[in-house]
Amino acid sequence: MDVFHVRDQEGNKVYSKKAINYIEQAICTRDSPRFTVTRSNELASRPDVAAHYTGIEMIGHNRPGIFSEISAVLAEQGCNVMEAHAWSHKDSLACVAFVSDESTSSPINDPNRLASIQDHLGTVLGPDTMDEDGRSARAHMLGADGLTSHPDRRLHQLMFSSKDFDGHPGKACTAFPMLSLDGYKKGRRTVVSVDRCNEKGYSVVNVECVDRPKLMFDTVCTLTDMQFNVFHASVSSRGPFACQEYYIRHRDGHILDTADERCLVVKGVKAAVERRTCEGVKLELCTENNAGLLSYITRVLRENGLTVRQADIAMEGNKMKNTFYVQGISDNKIDMDVVESVRRELDPLPFQVKDDALLSPGQLEGEPAAERNVFCILGLLRSKIESLSWFHLLRVSK
């Protein structure tokens, strides 16, 4: 039995029957009549963009201004961006976009035009030849079936395929600390370790990091992409921190026997946690959807010395909501006078600056050390006790 205790983004209980029905339909199968939900979050309805527009997947070599260049290419090719999601992590970029023909507002089906769009995007994304780490850049036009998974799910797959975790099994790997509070004190957000449970034949992945929405989703997606099955898990949070523990085996049944395998899992899970984390300033614009608008906004940001590190563009009702996390091109720092200059240049567009919900390393350092110690130690003890109790029950039942 899997039990989830959930709240909405404001930390409150939720009572929406619409959301409960949605979750049941999404998760419950014909063979699983016992799945029930008692409370959930309200889910916003949105059109099935994958079925009505042309989908494009992109992976490339991250650099300042690249999202602005991608937006400019799409505008020059007569594409109106209806929805787009982009992540950047280290030197990798992944983007999923849905576009329509600027003049007809319909999907783009002409093979020659699609080939031209793909070719121009490929020039911006970088060479499609393998680099020394086996990575390449590419743009891929989706077929009539569109995107077969949730955009966030697909972004994880694209990032993993581009080896954004910055390493492969052949490279040396550092030791795996179980719980390193020093990592938090130095502003290091994520500590991942791999242990063994020889008695039951599992590898145990422990993750200590700052808590945030979709943390468990991101971790499990990457474990799945790395061909692991999760048999048991314990996830808990207190204040700004979260502890995750997963008992896993590879799909072929083996556990992590070698240092290279453990190294790859550590790097992959750490990247999964950090991909969605951005310390940049969050900018929001909600306006009418006009062709070329995204290209214009990102060009203004680039010309003012800002680069987009993460982006989410989607219809919200009859408006287009544009959310960007931006940083300075030169030193990742942002002068708020520059942001005010951008606001004036984008006027009269409704431009808002919002604080990121994630804590910065400086805020983490401000947390009392005693509270951090108590949380991590109690979390570890609780998960270990639960594990021992579970194994004891198994023996008794046998």
Give the domain CATH number at 64. Answer: 3.30.70.260
Q: What's the average model confidence in pLDDT over 233-242?
A: 89
Backbone angle region of 90, left / alpha / beta, with phi > 0 → left and psi within -120 to 50 → alpha:
left
Q: Is 65 inside any structural domain?
A: yes
Domain that holds residue 250: 191-276
- pLDDT category at 257 given cuts 50, 70, 90 is confident
Q: Has residue 29 got a pLDDT over 50?
A: yes
Q: Has residue 174 got a pLDDT over 80?
A: no
Q: Do 315 and 209 reside in the same domain of the chain?
A: no
- pLDDT category at 48 given cuts 50, 70, 90 is low
Average pLDDT, the chain: 77
Last residue of a domain, one of 276, 297, 330: 276
CA distance 177 to 316: 44
Last residue of a domain, one of 247, 276, 305: 276
Higher pLDDT, 13 or 131: 13
Q: What is the pLDDT of residue 149?
A: 66
Q: Do 65 and 154 reside in the same domain of the chain?
A: yes
Q: Is 43 inside any structural domain?
A: no
Q: Do 144 and 245 reside in the same domain of the chain?
A: no
Q: Which residues, listed in sequence order, are joined to residue 367 by a DSSP beta bridge?
A: none
CA distance 180 to 190: 9
Q: What is the pLDDT of residue 387?
A: 46
Q: Do 65 and 125 reside in the same domain of the chain?
A: yes
Q: Is 182 inside any structural domain?
A: no
Q: What is the pLDDT of residue 100?
A: 92
Q: What is the pLDDT of residue 50?
A: 65
Higher pLDDT, 7 or 349: 349
Q: What residue ranges in the chain does DSSP mark as E strands?
A: 54-61, 79-89, 92-101, 138-141, 191-197, 202-210, 228-238, 241-250, 281-287, 306-316, 319-328, 351-354
Q: Do 253 and 129 reside in the same domain of the chain?
A: no
Q: Is 271 inside any structural domain?
A: yes
Name which of 19-28, 96-105, 193-202 the model is least confident about: 19-28
Q: Has residue 227 got a pLDDT over 80?
A: yes
Name which of 119-128, 156-165, 201-210 the model is least confident about: 119-128
Q: What's the average model confidence in pLDDT over 88-106?
A: 91
Q: How many domains does the chain have?
A: 2
Q: Do 291 and 349 reside in the same domain of the chain?
A: yes
Q: Is 112 inside any structural domain?
A: yes
Q: Is 2 inside any structural domain?
A: no
Q: Do 254 and 286 reside in the same domain of the chain?
A: no
- pLDDT category at 232 given cuts 50, 70, 90 is very high
CA angle 136, 141, 143 (to 5 degrees): 130
Q: CB-hemisphere CA count at 13 Å for 392? A: 6
Q: What's the average model confidence in pLDDT over 203-207?
A: 96
Q: Do 269 and 298 reside in the same domain of the chain?
A: no
Q: Is 233 inside any structural domain?
A: yes
Q: Is 317 inside any structural domain?
A: yes
Name which of 39-43, 95-99, 290-294 the model is least confident about: 39-43
Q: Has residue 394 got a pLDDT over 60?
A: no
Q: Do 160 and 60 reside in the same domain of the chain?
A: yes
Q: Has residue 381 got a pLDDT over 60?
A: no
Q: What is the pLDDT of residue 128?
A: 59
Q: Has residue 51 got a pLDDT over 90?
A: no
Q: Has residue 365 got a pLDDT over 70?
A: no
CA distance 90 to 236: 28
- pLDDT category at 112 given cuts 50, 70, 90 is very high
Q: What is the pLDDT of residue 142?
A: 74
Higher pLDDT, 349 or 76: 76
- pLDDT category at 132 given cuts 50, 70, 90 is low
Q: Do 213 and 286 reside in the same domain of the chain?
A: no
Q: Do 137 and 53 reside in the same domain of the chain?
A: yes
Last residue of a domain, one of 227, 246, 276: 276
Q: Do 157 and 306 reside in the same domain of the chain?
A: yes
- pLDDT category at 392 given cuts 50, 70, 90 is very low
Quote the pTM value: 0.75
Give yes or no for a contact between 342 and 351, defined as CB atoms under 8 angstroms apart: yes
